Amino acid sequence: MSASTPPLLEIERLQKSFGGLVAARELSFTVESGTILGLIGPNGSGKTTVLNLITGELRSDGGDMRLRGESLLGMSPYQICRRQVSRTFQLVRILPGMTAMENVMVGRLFGSRRTDRRAALGEAEELLRRVGLAEKRDMRAAQLTYVDQKRLEIARALATRPVLLLLDEWLAGLNPTELRIGMDLVHRIREGGVTAILVEHVMHAVRSLCDRVVVMDAGSKVVEGLPDEVLAHPDVVRAYLGDSGA
């Protein structure tokens, strides 16, 4: 990347509190285009709050967030989606009464770039094939297994045509076979040109998938760097285990 080219996403001194609980404290990091940034830390460290701030579900108390140099502050979730930011959730959010195909078409028809129904149908079919749900296109989302609902959610997110995809513990709860399939899918998403922030507790996946890692604890950034270096850092061990000798 050219030295004059800004990162895709810039988080600068981000602040967010809920009463006396500080969820983001002067938090700063960047995400380079074409990479996967891992955002890790103990439960309650503020990771999901950061994703909610980026997508406009929460309003920050201070700082700035810039996508391709444009501030996202004050924008609603639909405006940020139009700027090609999409996400998945810790607890899967699908439209249970709609079919798998209809779920994905919602993402395409109301995502970052509008299209007609015929074009949306074709793209939805391709996305369902990519995530392994082509044969279940006509099943209602509520009838899908847990892992298939996760696949459906990521297909719908991709249907919005994101340049930045936020994955909030998308690999959680998968068995070893499903985990390998899920990791391969994330690899292929990145190869397709989508930049990602991966919030995850599966350290094997973090090592394998992420170009850089930011570690949070109590709303603050503990350390940032390459995965192997970060995961061996004494402050990271202490944040997860409570004691460096544990």
Condensed to tens digits (0 to 9), the pLDDT of residues 13-60 reads 999 999 989 999 999 999 999 999 999 999 999 999 999 999 999 999
For residue 246, pLDDT over 50 is answered with no
Whether 93 has a pLDDT exceeding 70, the answer reads yes
Mean pLDDT calculated for residue range 177-202: 94
The answer to the question of residue 89 being in a domain is no
Domain final residue pick, 122, 142, 161: 161
DSSP SS3 for 243: coil
126 and 56 assigned to the same domain: no
Q: Which of 3-12, 62-71, 120-129, 215-224 has the lowest average pLDDT?
A: 3-12
Provide the pLDDT for residue 115.
Answer: 73
pLDDT tens per residue, range 58-81: 999 999 999 999 999 999 999 999
pTM of the model: 0.91
Q: Which CA distances in Å does 78 have to 14, 99, 195?
A: 21, 23, 19
CA angle at 158 for the pair 97 and 163, rounded to the nearest 5°: 145
> Structurally, how many domains does the chain consist of?
2
**CA–CA gap between residue 30 and residue 34 (Å, rounded):** 12
For residue 153, is it within any domain? yes
Residues 13 and 2 in one domain: yes
Q: How far apart are CA 197 and CA 188, in angstroms?
A: 15
- Give me the domain span that covers residue 60: 1-84+162-246
Structural domain ending residue among the three candidates 146, 161, 176: 161
Q: Of the candidates 122, 145, 161, which is a domain's last residue?
A: 161
Amino acid type, 244: S
